[in-house]
């Protein structure tokens, strides 16, 4: 491969031509090669500044809104690297981002109710955000370590890199991984946070304790009583929300309504009492919300009605 300075105008000019669709086949191959060496600076012909520009461009522009998305951890890593190079052509606006100085502020990606989003990180790791979630990526991601912050739920497929530990900070917990696929459910204000490993191994730190999870193992942390429960789960069921499955495993009525509010673009009002503390294990294939509510009516004793643009739910203990 040629050194980038041998191209007219240098690396930045070549990247601009690539984004505009004006690069030659040889130049396209050059950019794709640069991307493939991002996680190994010793082999990269780019300067530190040029690598940072390329990384930030990918992080800014390679996000796809999907509802729902299929799980990705069974696919091969090389396909993601090739796709990332293609997705750099997301728009000419990307070039304006390339020419700015690398920002010190973290990158923030959010999903609204009823939508999911897939993010390709600069290290080739894949994060799929569930509805109503936020992912914050540190500005120095990949330099010494790979750190992200999660509010909500996400499925992670982490690219192996032992020299740069991958850490997810989610509320009071921190999950550290070297290379694996796992799911984190950590919505603010909910009673439980859950980490589930599809394959590989992670370490979860919480309240001074450390828990090591391997494939098919889960850790559920209760924020009310500060207890952590380790158990097993079918790996095929971990992250099934990506396949339009609503898994209310150990959910209270309040938690189920909160999840329905995130998954459907409707406003839901729940009327309940302190006596509504029962936990339910119910799984649905994503369908019309009224069909789901009809099932919940029989299983939990709720009643509901639609009032204009709002669904009102009454628990069986609520007098109305």
Question: Could you report the per-residue pLDDT of 99-152, keeping only the tens digit for each?
Answer: 455 556 889 999 999 999 999 998 989 999 999 999 999 888 988 889 999 999
What is the CATH class of 4-243?
mainly beta
- The answer to whether the CB of 207 falls within 8 A of the CB of 173 is no
pTM greater than 0.75 (yes/no): no
* CB within 8 Å of 280: residues ≥ 6 apart: 248, 250, 251, 252, 253, 256, 299, 300
Confidence of residue 5 (pLDDT cuts 50, 70, 90): very low
Q: At 215, is the secondary structure helix, strand, or coil?
A: coil
Average pLDDT of the chain to the nearest whole number: 80
* Number of residues assigned to the chain: 320
Q: What is the pLDDT of residue 271?
A: 95
CATH architecture label of 244-320: 3-Layer(bab) Sandwich (3.55)
Q: Which residues partner with 99 through β-bridges?
A: none
Positions of CATH 3.55.50.30 in the chain: 244-320
Q: How far is Cα of residue 313 from the mean position of the Cα atoms in its chain?
A: 30
Distance (Å) of CA 33 to CA 45, 52, 126: 10, 15, 20
Positions of CATH 2.60.120.1440 in the chain: 4-243
Confidence of residue 167 (pLDDT cuts 50, 70, 90): very high
Torsion on CA atoms 85, 90, 93, 94, rounded to nearest 10: -20
- The answer to whether the CB of 242 falls within 8 A of the CB of 116 is yes
Kindly tell me if the per-residue pLDDT of 66 is higher than 70. no
Residue 301 or 250, more confident = 301
């Amino acid at each position: 491969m040629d050194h980038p300075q041998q191209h007219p105008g240098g690396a930045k000019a070549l990247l601009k031509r690539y984004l505009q669709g004006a690069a030659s086949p040889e130049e396209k191959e050059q950019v794709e090669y640069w991307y493939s060496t991002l996680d190994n600076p010793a082999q990269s012909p780019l300067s530190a500044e040029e690598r940072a520009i390329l990384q930030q461009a990918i992080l800014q522009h390679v996000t796809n809104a999907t509802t729902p998305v299929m799980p990705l951890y069974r696919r091969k890593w090389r396909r993601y690297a090739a796709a990332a190079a293609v997705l750099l052509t997301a728009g000419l606006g990307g070039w304006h981002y390339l020419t700015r100085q690398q920002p010190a502020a973290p990158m923030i990606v959010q999903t609204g109710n009823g939508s999911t989003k897939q993010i390709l990180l600069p290290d080739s790791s894949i994060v799929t955000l569930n509805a109503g979630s936020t992912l914050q990526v540190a500005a120095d991601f990949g330099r010494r370590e790979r750190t992200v912050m999660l509010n909500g739920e996400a499925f992670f497929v982490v690219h192996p890199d032992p020299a740069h530990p991958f850490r997810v900070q989610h509320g009071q917990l921190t999950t550290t991984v070297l290379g694996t696929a796992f799911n984190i459910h950590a919505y603010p204000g909910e009673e439980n946070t859950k980490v589930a490993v599809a394959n590989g191994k992670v370490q979860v730190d919480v309240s001074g304790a450390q828990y090591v999870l391997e494939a098919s193992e889960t850790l559920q942390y209760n924020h009310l009583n500060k207890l952590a429960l380790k158990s097993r789960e079918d790996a095929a069921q971990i992250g099934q929300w990506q396949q339009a499955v609503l898994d209310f495993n150990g959910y209270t009525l309040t938690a189920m309504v909160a999840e329905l509010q995130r998954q459907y673009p409707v406003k839901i009002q729940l009327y309940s009492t302190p006596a509504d503390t029962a936990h339910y294990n119910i799984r649905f294939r994503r369908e019309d919300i009224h069909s789901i509510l009809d099932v919940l009516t029989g299983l939990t004793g709720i009643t509901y009605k639609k009032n204009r643009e709002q669904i009102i739910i009454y628990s069986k203990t609520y007098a109305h």
